[in-house]
Amino acid sequence: MKQLWGGRFDSDPASLAMNYAESIEADSRMVAEDIWGSEAHAIMLARQEIITEEELRQILKYLELAREEFAQGTRTLKRELEDVHMNVETVLIEGAGKEYGGKLHTARSRNDQVIVDSKLHLRTRLLDVADALAQLRGVLLERATNHTEDVMPGYTHTQHAQPITVGFWLSAYASALARDHERLQGAFNRANTSPLGACALAGTSFPTDRRLVAKLLGFDRVHEHALDLIGARDFVAEALSAMAILMSTLSKLAQETVLYSTYEFRMVELDDAFAFGSSIMPQKKNACLAELARARAGNVFGRLMQVLTMIKGTPIGYNRDVQEDKPPLWEALDCTEATVLVLAGVVSTLELKLERMRELAGANFSTATELANCLVRDHGRPFRESHEIVGNIVGQLCKEGKNFNDVERTGELLREHGIELARDELAAVVDPERVVRAQRSLGSTNPREVQRMIADLSRTLDRDANWSAAARQRIAAAQTHTREIVQRIIEGGSLAECRL
């Protein structure tokens, strides 16, 4: 098939060549975006009197036809036309002839066009990920609120460290995910700039209005420097990096779900709807979703590495290398959104085994630090010395197969170090519930502090959800604005009657 760019060629590309170069699959997600971008461009061309209003009308009419046919599936992207841009332009040229359809590409290049399409699509998909994330954050906070008093072991090195509350544990993820949201928002903001009008790399000698195009497409502002923007894919790397970091947070949550649902821990139990069985072992109830989530962090890291490697060392200006940004970007967006949603399902239905958590919190010396603190506070011992004393006592109790629950024996051992502690007082010092309530520093596991932080995180979540809703609204308003102009022109109206 003769290519629209084929003037200087004596033959069409070999099918081997076209099969290697075409980007139809990745581009198929950007058909509506390509049409919207073309409408905005054509409106601007007419407004600047670079094309006539009649030419605009013909162009918009066939863009409308393209929109309908691609949406209904009566027309699909043709591989032999290389990409979405050539496919859409071909509809115009077939319909309106070169006389009209052939004018759309004035003062535009596929180089700036493809960035418009990607950014328009990325914007919405990043909001989808942010909204899914808001759902997970909401689930974590809601569950955390109900367990600000229930104790569980807190771990360092996956060894019992100090008692914490279940609300503290769950809200820790809500706290981390709030930062992950900020990174998505940052990626959105930096992607939300208009490249159209950079043309191939150097701008154009036509009197274009880049700001008008940016406005019609709902971009925050124009990305001005044509040479910089045309090969820049840092917005892709940044979105992937935000998603990679988010996936790393999710992989920790996934890992804890796997671990805590084992027989050895038994601190949580998966809901049947979010667990899988074995084809041979009838007793199995596997945390497959959490395992897949843990593994799929690797998929997204890989996509980030793929894009960074693609960008690296490319000379400034457009290089065909950058066509390869879309498959990894789409894949990472799909994978991240699905992982967030599936973990929201897992966490919202997870049974928390509070008794078991309480038992473990008291079983393995997690209150030892507080006992050492008590020797400092009430018995005038320097911390290093009290650490040594409590360490000795723990060592001795271990040898005897006992723990702090044997208050009698613990008191005796303290006495050997010259420390008198009344039985009740000692029982209180090694009681996990009392220990969590004794914490008083900013950000600690103290139930009141946890409630305060949950309230704070809930406010942050509301603010983030409002941001996303407002961003969607701006996009929808820009879309409606463009649609209204398109309708009016197609119906025979003139640009002068349009609000621009």
- By annotation, the residues acting in catalysis are 157, 278
CB of 114 to ligand ARG, least distance (A): 4
Torsion of CA 454, 457, 463, 468, to 10 degrees: -110
The owner of tokens 């909401």 is 138
CB of 230 to ligand ARG, least distance (A): 10
Q: Which is nearer to ligand ARG, 23 or 403 (CB)?
A: 23
Selected range binding ligand ARG among 157-165, 188-196, 315-323, 441-449, rule: CB under 6 A: 315-323
For the stretch 93-101, contacts whose Cβ atoms lie closer than 8 Å and that sit 24 or more positions apart, written own/partner, are 93/4, 95/61, 95/62, 95/65, 96/58, 96/59, 96/61, 96/62, 100/54, 100/55, 100/58, 100/59, 100/62, 101/58, 101/59, 101/62
CB of 23 to ligand ARG, least distance (A): 4
β pairing state of 151-156 and 221-222: unpaired
Q: Do 177 and 136 touch, CB atoms closer than 8 A? A: yes
CB of 239 to ligand ARG, least distance (A): 16
For the segment 16-45, give every residue that binds ligand ARG (CB under 6 A): 23
Q: Do 193 and 223 touch, CB atoms closer than 8 A? A: yes
Selected range binding ligand ARG among 167-175, 206-214, 289-297, 319-327, rule: CB under 6 A: 319-327
Q: What are phi and psi of 160, to 5 degrees?
A: -55, 130
CB of 113 to ligand ARG, least distance (A): 7
The neighbouring-strand residues paired with 222 are 194
Those residues with Cβ within 8 angstroms of residue 288's Cβ, 6 or more apart along the chain or in another chain: 275, 276
Q: Which is nearer to ligand ARG, 34 or 449 (CB)?
A: 34
Which helix or strand (DSSP H or E) is residue 221 part of?
Answer: strand 221-222
CB of 111 to ligand ARG, least distance (A): 5
Choosing from 165, 208, 241, 323, the residue that interacts with ligand ARG (CB under 6 A) is: 323
- Per-residue x/- track, 248-287, ligand ARG (CB under 6 A): ----------------------------------------
Q: What are phi and psi of 189, to 5 degrees?
A: -60, -40
Selected range binding ligand ARG among 241-249, 314-322, 345-353, 372-380, rule: CB under 6 A: 314-322
DSSP 8-state secondary structure symbol assigned to residue 439: -
Choosing from 169, 188, 318, 365, the residue that interacts with ligand ARG (CB under 6 A) is: 318
Q: Give the span between the Cα atoms of 132 and 125, in whole angstroms.
A: 11
- Per-residue x/- track, 68-87, ligand ARG (CB under 6 A): ---------------x----
Structure-block tokens of residue 5:
């760019």
Size of the site for ligand ARG (CB under 6 A): 9
Which helix or strand (DSSP H or E) is residue 163 part of?
Answer: strand 159-165
Q: Which is nearer to ligand ARG, 198 or 344 (CB)?
A: 198
Selected range binding ligand ARG among 243-251, 318-326, 359-367, 439-447, rule: CB under 6 A: 318-326
CB of 110 to ligand ARG, least distance (A): 4
Which residue type does 181 have? H
Which residue type does 371 have? L
CB of 119 to ligand ARG, least distance (A): 12
The closest residue (CB) to ligand ARG is: 323
For the segment 108-167, give every residue that binds ligand ARG (CB under 6 A): 110-111, 114
Q: Give the span between the Cα atoms of 114 and 72, in whole angstroms.
A: 23
Q: Which is nearer to ligand ARG, 119 or 160 (CB)?
A: 119
Q: Give the span between the Cα atoms of 177 and 373, in whole angstroms.
A: 33
Q: Which is nearer to ligand ARG, 26 or 136 (CB)?
A: 26
CB of 201 to ligand ARG, least distance (A): 10
Q: Which is nearer to ligand ARG, 111 or 299 (CB)?
A: 111
Those residues with Cβ within 8 angstroms of residue 7's Cβ, 6 or more apart along the chain or in another chain: none
The length of the chain is 500
Q: Give the span between the Cα atoms of 136 and 131, in whole angstroms.
A: 9
Q: Which is nearer to ligand ARG, 9 or 383 (CB)?
A: 9
Q: Which is nearer to ligand ARG, 121 or 294 (CB)?
A: 121
| φ/ψ bin of 154: left (φ > 0), alpha (ψ from -120 to 50), beta (otherwise) | beta
How far, in Å, are 181, 444, 451, 456 from residue 461 at the CA level?
9, 21, 15, 9
Quick check: 89 binds ligand ARG (CB under 6 A)? no
CB of 321 to ligand ARG, least distance (A): 9
Q: Give the span between the Cα atoms of 169 and 34, in whole angstroms.
A: 45
DSSP 8-state secondary structure symbol assigned to residue 276: B
3-class DSSP assignment, residue 174:
helix
Binding site for ligand ARG (CB under 6 A): 23, 83, 110-111, 114, 318, 320, 322-323
